[in-house]
Amino acid sequence: MPYKNLRRSAPALDVVCKYCGNKTKHNAKGVAQYVGGWVANRDAGGANHILFPNRYNSWAHVACLEDDHKPNTEQLELFG
């Protein structure tokens, strides 16, 4: 897993956005890396600390991720 310890300060690497397919740099502003790991539930809700994170060679623009999770307006009409 060559990307495990890749930091923003590492030399810029060419990567491809999983959603739009456009090339970008791994450390460019607005680029996210897919990470898996353990997250503890908090009493107050939410969880933002990942224990033992595993970073994957999977990248996306944050804007593309947000587009992907926009509610489907047809579903809103059905269930809203």
Dihedral sign from CA coordinates of 61, 30, 37, 41? negative
What is the smallest separation between the CB atom of 28 and Zn ion, expressed in angstroms? 11
Beta bridge partners of residue 38, listed in sequence order: 51
Task: Give yes or no for residue 17 binding Zn ion (CB under 5 A).
Answer: yes
Residue of 13, 20, 32, 65 that binds Zn ion (CB under 5 A): 20
Q: Which of residues 35-64 bind Zn ion (CB under 5 A)?
A: 61, 64
CB 21 within 8 A of CB 59: no
Which residues are at the interface with Zn ion (CB under 5 A)? 17, 19-20, 61, 64
